A = this chain, B = another copy of it.
Amino acid sequence: MANILDVAAKAGVSRSTVSRVINNSERVDAETRKNVLQAMKDLNYQPSRVAQSLRNQKTYLIAVLVPRLSNPFYARLMQGIESQALAHGYHIILCNTGFDPDKEFEYLKLLEHAQVDGIIITAFRSSLETVQSFKKFGPIVLVGEYLDNDLFPTVTVDYQKAAYAATEHLLKLGHRQIGLAVGSLDSVINRDREMGYRKALADYGVPVSEDWIRASAVGLDEGRQFLRSLLSSRGLPTAVFAASDELAVGIIQEAKKQNIAVPVELAVVGFDDLPIASIVEPQLTTIAQPIEDIGIRSMSLLLDCLKGKSITERRIILETQLTIRDSCGSRYEEEASLVRYEQQ
């Protein structure tokens, strides 16, 4: 492979000049530049990224930590992140953590030892202190998992508001017994969903029943377990808000198995609007997140940090949308129950 000296020789200049045209910086004579460019083309020369990395102390690499790529939410997020990185000459190192703090730590060390220029964290189980201790080594952007006091630039949605909307949807349909299946309350994004849920109930004057609230992981299996667990304790509410589509689908699957009719006996609202939401039967009413856009924006934010731009907006909040399908009853029933509610 040709190197900078080969190009210099071919163009009859010094490596300094070649370097200048590579970085199209400073004043280089137009004629000289043309010659160098030609030589580069002739030799199919491309500057060595590795050498540039060593010299510039930049790798043009970004580590992206995801808990589980097989979760379609993270896969799509990655797509957004990757497309934006590519558009700006960066590449993505895939870091699948499996929610394992040790792995997270390993990957964070990529930043410490300058193997990447920055990190995007889409979920973490490590302590906040651990993550913070890496801030000094380079920019870290958080997705979803924002922290209360703007410690990191963050792209997220308003989980509380979204959860409120989901719960309110059920309330407006006349439901007064509403369960909550939510992810680990170690994480703000889940505590926020819980708050939105509680706030909606409070606003509608409906008492919260702690027996119908469960925090767990957010996969299909946990959805099934959720339903079984309710069944074996105080019995079922008439509706449930699940904090992920996978959770919601698990609940629906288990309901079918137990011969509980959805939505008639049990209404279900999900969260994310993944493809499975429109595959499951009945199709899932859910909160749509702008997943790819979240990815794109988080990468943009990181790029800004890398460029040393002053970040005016440290927390970017994107809009969600309640997407109504069939898992909470038909539009007609909704109106009917609204009437019932207003007549009370």
Measured CB to CB, the residues of A under 8 A from B are 1, 46, 48-51, 53-54, 59, 61, 64, 68-70, 72, 75-76, 78-79, 82-83, 86, 91-96, 103, 106, 109-110, 112-115, 220, 249, 253, 275-276, 279-281
Contacts and interface: CB of A to CB of B under 8 A. Distances in A.
20 contacts: A46-B113, A48-B54, A49-B113, A50-B50, A50-B53, A50-B59, A69-B76, A69-B78, A69-B82, A70-B76, A72-B72, A75-B75, A78-B94, A83-B96, A91-B115, A93-B93, A94-B94, A220-B275, A249-B279, A276-B279
A112 B45 CA distance: 10
A78 B94 CA distance: 9
Contacts of A114: 1, 48-50
Contacts of A64: 94
B82 A96 contact: yes
A253 B275 CA distance: 13
A61 B116 CA distance: 12
A92 B68 CA distance: 15
A112 B110 CA distance: 24
Given A51-B54, A93-B94, 8 more contacts: A1-B112, A46-B112, A54-B54, A64-B94, A69-B76, A69-B78, A72-B72, A79-B96
A48 B75 CA distance: 30
Nearest to A103: B86
Nearest to A74: B75
A275 B276 contact: yes
**Lowest 6 A-B CB distances belong to which pairs?**
A75-B75, A50-B53, A92-B94, A46-B113, A94-B94, A281-B281
Contacts of A61: 93
Contact of A50 (B86, B94, B115): B115
Nearest to A68: B79
Nearest to A280: B279
A93 B62 CA distance: 9
Contacts of A54: 48, 50-51, 53-54
A93 B61 CA distance: 9
A243 B68 CA distance: 26
A114 to B, nearest CB: 7
A49 B279 contact: no
A249 B278 CA distance: 11
A70 B59 contact: no
A265 to B, nearest CB: 17
Among A1, A50, A113, A220, max chain B CB count under 10 A is at: A50
A64 to B, nearest CB: 8
Contact of A79 (B48, B70, B110): B70
B83 A75 contact: no
Contact of A82 (B53, B83, B94): B94
A51 to B, nearest CB: 6
A271 to B, nearest CB: 16
Contact of A279 (B1, B94, B279): B279
A281 B257 CA distance: 13
Among A1, A92, A249, A275, max chain B CB count under 10 A is at: A275
B69 A75 contact: yes
Contact of A93 (B78, B91, B113, B279): B91
Contact of A92 (B46, B50, B93): B93
